[in-house]
């Protein structure tokens, strides 16, 4: 698995932009209220204040506030190519 850290900037607007560009992606994020969690950013249930994420540790779908976002990592499956 590869991780790509997304530069969030300091404003709520820059955090909102980063989330909305990443909708549908599998992520690991750090949120003030939920701590570190992993799951998928959902293409539904987002507006100017909140976004929705399906957290994979059993907490299920949650609505999170952009201003509570601390760090965002996009996960990518990675299979190395073997060179002969």
CB 61 within 8 A of CB 44: no
Domains along the chain?
2-76 (2.30.30.180)
**5-46: pLDDT as tens digits:** 888 988 999 999 999 999 999 999 999 999 999 999 999 989
For 36-40, 71-75, 80-84, which range has the lowest pLDDT when averaged over its residues?
Answer: 80-84
Q: What is the pLDDT of residue 71?
A: 96
pTM of the complete model: 0.84
Q: What is the pLDDT of residue 24?
A: 95
Pick from 61, 58, 64: which is nearest to 34 by CA? 64
CB 77 within 8 A of CB 1: yes
Q: What is the pLDDT of residue 79?
A: 63
Q: How far apart are CA 78 and CA 60, in angstroms?
A: 26
């Amino acid at each position: 698995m590869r991780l790509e850290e997304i530069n969030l900037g300091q404003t709520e607007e820059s955090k909102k932009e980063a989330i909305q560009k990443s909708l549908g992606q599998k992520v690991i994020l750090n949120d003030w209220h939920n701590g570190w969690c992993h799951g998928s950013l959902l293409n539904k249930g987002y507006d100017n204040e909140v976004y929705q994420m399906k957290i994979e540790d059993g907490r299920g779908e949650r609505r999170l506030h952009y201003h509570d976002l601390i760090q965002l990592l996009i996960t990518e499956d990675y299979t190395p190519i073997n060179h002969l």
